[in-house]
Each structure stands twice: as C-alpha cells, then as structure tokens.
Amino acid sequence: QVQLVESGGGLVQAGDSLRLSCAASGLSFSLYAMGWFRQGPGTEREFVSAIHWSGRTNYADSAKGRFTISRDNTKNTVYLQMNSLKPEDTAVYYCAAGAQVVPTTRSYNYWGQGTQVTVSS
C-alpha cells in the first residue's frame, strides 16, 4: 500500500519561509519522479515543482527563484523549500509520485492528503 504523507505546512507571514516534507512508503521511491502540486480555494490543482529520480527538476514559473525541490532517497522523502512566500501561495500542497517530471496531474499515480499553507499579508 502506497502512502505519501505531507508535513510542514502552517500559517506564516508574507516574506517568510517554510519547508514541506513528503514521506513515502510502499513504493520503490528512488525509481519515481516526485512532484508538488497545490490547490487554492476555488481553483484547480496546479503544478509547483517535480524532481526526477535522477535529480532533474522542473518548476512552475510561479515557483522559479523562490522554491527549491529536493529529495533524499535514503529517507524516502521529498522536500519543498519555499522562500519569500506571498499571500497568493496560500493553498493546500500535495505530494505526488509518478514516472516523469511533468506538470500534469494525470501523469502522477499516487497522491498524499495534502498540507495547508497559509500566507498572511
């Protein structure tokens, strides 16, 4: 049974930083691409970033220069370091596992339950 468990969300002020973690189990973690998506109130789930098992990364334009994705295959964990947070970053952030570092939700096979990030102005 595959499980992806996100943590690290919270309430912060604009300009602050947060680091999200996603711990995976039940899959060969080192063989999967891992992605982060987010969904704000009344919006569709959107791509944030992804990292291939080889270390190759992909970022949404909104994340470039502020967010950094990384993974630790020894801990079966993927991270999202978020700096210079803005109120528009407020969303539920989801971790996902798939085959490629692509920005489409349908390309990911497994999903976590999400962690709330709220950025106040």
One-letter amino acid at 51 equals I
d(CA 7, CA 28): 20
Q: What is the pLDDT of residue 95?
A: 98
pLDDT in tens, 71-119: 999 999 999 999 999 999 999 999 999 998 899 999 999 999 999 999 9
Question: Residue 74: CB partners within 8 Å, gap ≥ 6?
Answer: none
DSSP bridge partners of 96: 35, 111
Residue 30 DSSP SS3: helix
Q: What letter would DSSP give residue 105?
A: G
Question: Residue 84: CB partners within 8 Å, gap ≥ 6?
Answer: 15, 17, 66
The chain-wide mean pLDDT, for the chain, equals: 96
Q: What is the pLDDT of residue 1?
A: 94
